[in-house]
Amino acid sequence: PGAAGRINPVPRVGIPCVVLSDGPAGCGILPVEGEENYFCTHFPIETLLSSTWDVDLVRNVGEVIGNEAKEYGVDVLLAPAINIHRHPLCGRNFEYFSEDPLLAGKMAVAYVDGVQSNDIGTSVKHFAVNNQETNRMNNNAIVSPRALREIYLKAFEIVVKESQPWTIMSSYNRINDVYASESPELITTILRDEWGYKGTVMTDWWGGADGAAQMIAGNDMIEPGTKEQAAHIIEGVKNGTLDEAVVDRNVRRILELVVRTPRFKGYKYSNNPDMKAHATVTRQSATEGMVLLKNEKQALPLSPKDKNIALFGGVSYNFFSGGTGSGDIHRPYVVSLLDGLKNQQIVVDDNIKAIYQAYNRPQEQGEQMRINEMPMDTAIIKYAAKNNDMAIITFGRISGEYIDRISSDFFLSDTERELVKNVTRIFHEANKKVVVVLNVGGVIETQSWKEMPDAILLSWQAGQEGGNSVADILTGHANPSGKLPMTFPVTLSDHWSSLNFPIDQKIDRRWSVKTGLTHETKNVDYTIYDEGVYVGYRWFDTQNLQVSYPFGYGLSYTTFEYSKPSVKQDNGKVIVEVTVKNTGKVAGKEAVQLYVEAPAGKLDKPVHELKAFDKTKMLQPGESQVITLAVHTDDLASFDEQTSAWVTDGGKYKFVVAASSRDPRGDVMVDISPSTRKVNNVLNLPAAFKK
């Protein structure tokens, strides 16, 4: 009870009820009246996990989530979600990994391997191009085959080839006119024929329209399934438009899933996972995905003198542990920043606390996704500056399923802006530091105010132990090693995709009614992915646009030196080695990135693309480690629509070892021979949208 769905039992033939439960930030079982209810551990959001750039850590988190799910009787965890962060306002970005398909793909591999090591299944979702919530059940994504292949399908390709997830969940939306769940080109030609997928495909809940078309496409299982869809199937078989052999094929694939499940094997789940151990895992892993955006004059970690803290911002007292919708978790508690600091013997100003706690927050307005910040009197700030050693301000944002964020949610509100302005001015006048903590699920604007505070910590939504994890970093018990899995732009309109995203579009954003295929309202009925492959840093870096914080960026309490990289070629692979040394005073980890710049060829390309990454182990001061970054030359290819082929141009490629997409640390030139791999000519643009 409380899980998202199931495979219906057929006791007559020994088919048990297989349980499907949501993720990705833990096991999503909701309380149900009249049933025995259990809490599940709330782990960090996926965006935080990808900020770790640490596949071993994510694999371990997946393993623990999978164990908890299994012990609650779950057979398939409906996670990870791996859609691309096409635009910062997508309401579900918090559930997704990155704007980059390689990072998203490798994180997905780690997550799936971890969960499935428990002999339960995953459902990698939402296949594919589910990049907005507005009219998500009907929106028609108009995307070029090249952008599909290189950006929107790539992460799925990686996880299918490397991990064979037990199931894939097709997405709600249409792609070039056809519902994803009804697209044989997507679900059979590409997924199974080209990539070799062997598992089961299920719909997203109530997704698609025509049950028979879904069967033909190879979408084996319809969740939760409607009477209409069942009627389509029966009718189709009767009138000969749906071959019974197709139904048998799909049924077989469902049964192949069933027989793998713990339920079928009679596993006796305990309903008693080790919640204490799991809390420790979420606390510790969360610290590794928090991103230190700014740390002037080593404002952090707190020094022993920083004993008394004035805590500003309503969210400090009420942390967001994750987003809303199916990605939410029925957690036992959330540690606020207040509690996290107290747990580490830091004294928080009680008077400020009392003011916040007494504040009668005005009703949140309709679509607003931040809490209404309390206006703070400067006299109180002056009192606080006099009586405390420093100030921390938390700004929070929450978003979730069914609804995209609105543009004003991206910017600080006037009250928030006043708060950071006044607190920094008054505390700085008293020679005291100010730290801003961002308890957000996605990108917000930072350019206009980031000069004010001394330090900025992007804590993301860090699960139920969030306040403890932040306190671990503030006090220096943990050294931040997270780096951004997406760009923080100067402003929203800098994203090319802002021209084609439902920004503040006034429609009923919730469940969209499945209308027929219409091309009426732009960005609602249909969305043109005009930017092609120029998503995230591929756009900003190619245009050399100023950004607030680049992709891959994040500071540490220590410093790292990169040696000159060396390179060799082996068996179709380019292998770059670099030695990374901790040159600072405390132990730390460094995420190392490899970008490749291709020579000019037939297709225009982003100036560089991430092709490999790795993270050091914990390096003690003075310690170094050799990092090996391997790239298969096939993965240097771009997709040529004219010939429907992956084409690697021959010529000199620059392999750049970097600390972020804007922080190159050394490079090597490599001669690559040309190669071409032809694939199927599918998923073409509808005629009306061909250029």
Question: Is residue 63 near ligand BGC by the rule CB under 6 A?
Answer: no
Comparison of 82 and 443: residue with beta carbon closer to ligand BGC: 82
Q: How many residues bind ligand BGC (CB under 6 A)?
A: 8
CB of 67 to ligand BGC, least distance (A): 20
For residues 612 and 610, what is the distance between their CA atoms, to the nearest angstrom?
6
| Contact (CB, 8 A) for 185 and 681 | no
Comparison of 180 and 492: residue with beta carbon closer to ligand BGC: 180
Comparison of 326 and 660: residue with beta carbon closer to ligand BGC: 326
For residues 147 and 217, what is the distance between their CA atoms, to the nearest angstrom?
22
Comparison of 140 and 439: residue with beta carbon closer to ligand BGC: 140
Which x/- pattern over 74-103 shows residues binding ligand BGC (rule: CB under 6 A)? ----x-------------------------
Question: Is residue 125 near ligand BGC by the rule CB under 6 A?
Answer: yes
Nearest Cα to Cα of residue 381 among 427, 325, 333, 429: 427
Locate the DSSP E strands across 74-132. Answer: 76-78, 121-127
CB of 119 to ligand BGC, least distance (A): 21
Helix axes of 275-289 and 55-71: crossing angle, nearest 10 degrees: 150
Residues contacting 591, CB < 8 A, separation 6+: 52, 53, 54, 481, 482, 483, 552, 554, 613, 614, 615
Catalytic residue among 204, 389, 640, 649: 204
CB of 439 to ligand BGC, least distance (A): 23
Residue sitting closest to ligand BGC (CB): 4
Comparison of 64 and 78: residue with beta carbon closer to ligand BGC: 78
Would you give the DSSP letter of residue 124?
Answer: E
Q: Identify the helix (H) or strand (E) that includes residue 200.
A: strand 200-202
Q: Report CA-CA distances (Å) from 438 to 139, 222, 346, 445, 558.
A: 32, 39, 20, 11, 22
| Contact (CB, 8 A) for 203 and 223 | yes
Comparison of 22 and 177: residue with beta carbon closer to ligand BGC: 22
Question: Is residue 58 near ligand BGC by the rule CB under 6 A?
Answer: no
What does the angle CA 431 – CA 433 – CA 437 come to, to the nearest 5 degrees?
165
204 classed as catalytic? yes
Question: Is residue 4 near ligand BGC by the rule CB under 6 A?
Answer: yes
Which x/- pattern over 285-324 shows residues binding ligand BGC (rule: CB under 6 A)? ----------------------------------------
For residues 9 and 265, what is the distance between their CA atoms, to the nearest angstrom?
14
CB of 326 to ligand BGC, least distance (A): 4
Place of tokens 């679900």: 187
For residues 420 and 428, what is the distance between their CA atoms, to the nearest angstrom?
12
For residues 209 and 543, what is the distance between their CA atoms, to the nearest angstrom?
41
For residues 23 and 118, what is the distance between their CA atoms, to the nearest angstrom?
15
Comparison of 205 and 267: residue with beta carbon closer to ligand BGC: 205
Helix axes of 101-116 and 154-163: crossing angle, nearest 10 degrees: 30
| Contact (CB, 8 A) for 21 and 29 | yes
- 123-142 CB burial, b ≥16 within 10 A, e <16: bbbbbbbbbbbbbbbbbbbb
Comparison of 205 and 411: residue with beta carbon closer to ligand BGC: 205
CB of 95 to ligand BGC, least distance (A): 8
For residues 112 and 251, what is the distance between their CA atoms, to the nearest angstrom?
24
Q: Which of residues 530-589 bind ligand BGC (CB under 6 A)?
A: none
Comparison of 28 and 463: residue with beta carbon closer to ligand BGC: 28
CB of 78 to ligand BGC, least distance (A): 4
CB of 133 to ligand BGC, least distance (A): 9
Q: Report CA-CA distances (Å) from 212 to 96, 108, 181, 182, 435.
A: 30, 31, 11, 9, 57
Residue 656 has, within 13 A of its CA and on its CB side, a CA count of: 17
| Contact (CB, 8 A) for 140 and 525 | yes
CB of 15 to ligand BGC, least distance (A): 21
CB of 218 to ligand BGC, least distance (A): 20
Question: Is residue 592 near ligand BGC by the rule CB under 6 A?
Answer: no
Q: Which of residues 181-240 bind ligand BGC (CB under 6 A)?
A: 204-205
Comparison of 169 and 619: residue with beta carbon closer to ligand BGC: 169
Question: Is residue 326 near ligand BGC by the rule CB under 6 A?
Answer: yes
Single-letter residue type at 593 = Q
Backbone angles phi, psi at 70, to 5 degrees: -60, -40
CB of 189 to ligand BGC, least distance (A): 24
Using CA of residue 408, residue 411, residue 416, residue 422, what is the dihedral sign? negative
The β-bridge relationship of strands 121-127 and 651-658 is unpaired
Q: Pick from 18, 19, 22, 154: which binds ligand BGC (CB under 6 A)?
A: 22
Contact footprint for ligand BGC (CB under 6 A): 4, 22, 78, 125, 204-205, 326, 401
Which residues are part of the catalytic machinery? 204
